[in-house]
Amino acid sequence: MVVKVAINGYGTIGKSVADAVTLQDDMKIVGVSKTRPTFEAQIANSKGFPLYVLAGNEKKFESAGIKIKGTIDDMFKEAEIVVDCTPGDFGDQEKANYTKANLKAIFQGGEDHELTGTSFNALANYKEAWGKQFVRVVSCNTSGLIRTLFPLDRDIGIERVNAVMIRRAVDPRDSKKGPVNAIKPVLEIPSHHGPDVQTVMHNLKISTMAVAVPTTLMHVHSVIVDLKKEVKKEDVLKIWESTPRVMLIDGAKGLPSTAEVMEYARDLGHTRGDFNSIIVWRDGMNVVGKTLYYYQAIHQESDVIPENIDCIRSMMKTEADNTKSIQKTEKTMGIK
């Protein structure tokens, strides 16, 4: 079975999900959507993705010399599942459209959990999305926390987590937002990230705070975990070494910050300079008694992409085993 996938919102996340879908042999892109005739619409044309646009905007695309297949409603008729990559908070409106078109849909982390009632991470709760009509892939920060915390909770047991998210100000493509010369604490305490992790790891005790800083590259998390038993540093590293989509690196080997980590991604030849895996500094972690301390870096634009692919398989019931889906996605996307 080849699942017909539409991407509603061909922006930062939508472009990468579209590329990841084309790498799979069990799904294909039947359309991508745009509201404005920007360079990305041209790229969709050049990649051969059928382009659909917001009704009423057709002429703008035609006069810009961009080929379109129809309106977004037309795209829905071609698809079995939509990956909604519209900007955050469009969810209610788009969910009504998908319901009307009798389509399944995946939403992104800019939407609230309540929109779908099911939030997703491939390793932690693949089966919760099984056959569902609406599921949300959790945000980049939440995906990052779950990737490293889930295996620790499964294999050692977690008493409690305290974490601080040091967030990039904006994505590299964005020239409108900031801060440019400020460090901006998120004054809502605890931040929403902890409760968001609990939408997937339902019983985890976790509190989070967040600070936005003037960088575009990655987020960094500073995490303190009270474990249920004493373990050695090596025990934790061994767990992460065998965890998909977690990569251990050494600051001492020329990777002391997110700048070098992003350069490493480019040198490895990763598409768009992405790092789909969560980066954990081997020499930046320690265990004292039952308490684990570590730093991790999250490439916000790309860590959620493989999760969307696995989510499609669970919702469409095309692969029952999450390990097989994860491995297939990693092989096709070249994730190590």
Ligand X SMILES: NC(=O)c1ccc[n+]([C@@H]2O[C@H](COP(=O)([O-])OP(=O)(O)OC[C@H]3O[C@@H](n4cnc5c(N)ncnc54)[C@H](OP(=O)(O)O)[C@@H]3O)[C@@H](O)[C@H]2O)c1
Q: Least CB distance from residue 198 to ligand X, whole Å?
A: 18
Three-class HEC string of 153-211: HHHCCEEEEEEEEEEECCCCCCCCCCCCCCCEECCCCCCCHHHHHHCCCCCCCEEEEEE
Any idea what the Cα angle at residue 97 is, between residues 91 and 103, rounded to 5°? 100
State yes or no: residue 140 binds ligand X (CB under 6 A).
yes
Q: What distance in Å separates the CA atoms of residue 275 and residue 305, rounded to the nearest whole number?
A: 10
Interaction between residue 213 and ligand X (CB under 6 A): no
CA 145 to CA 280: how far, in whole Å? 11
Euclidean distance between CA atoms 89 and 244, whole angstroms: 30
Q: Tell me the H-state helices in the chain.
A: 12-22, 39-47, 58-63, 72-78, 91-100, 122-125, 140-155, 193-198, 233-241, 258-267, 305-315, 322-333
Binding residue count for ligand X, defined by CB under 6 A: 28
Give the residue with the Cβ less far from ligand X, 32 or 206: 32
Comparison of 51 and 225: residue with beta carbon closer to ligand X = 51
Nearest distance, CB of residue 240 and ligand X, angstroms: 22
Q: Is 70 in the site for ligand X (CB under 6 A)?
A: no
Q: From the list 115, 163, 304, 309, which residue makes contact with ligand X (rule: CB under 6 A)? A: 304
The footprint of ligand X on residues 23-62 (CB under 6 A) is: 33-36, 38, 54
Q: Which of residues 162-191 bind ligand X (CB under 6 A)?
A: 171
In 10 A of CB 131, how many CB atoms?
Answer: 10
Position of minimal CB gap to ligand X: 11
What is the closest distance, in whole angstroms, from the C-beta atom of residue 27 to ligand X in the complex? 19
Residue 8 or 243: which CB sits closer to ligand X?
8
Q: Is 140 a catalytic residue?
A: yes
Active-site annotation holder among 27, 140, 285, 311: 140
Q: How far is the CB of 192 from ligand X (least distance, A)?
A: 12
> CB of 27 within 8 A of CB of 5?
yes
Sole binder of ligand X in the list 70, 110, 190, 244 (CB under 6 A): 110
Under 8 Å between Cβ of 95 and 8:
no
Q: For 106, list phi and psi in degrees, rounded to 5.
A: -105, 130
Beta carbon nearer to ligand X, 61 or 156 = 61
- Catalytic residue numbers read 140
Footprint of ligand X on this chain (CB under 6 A)?
8-14, 33-36, 38, 54, 85-88, 90, 108-111, 139-140, 171, 300-301, 304
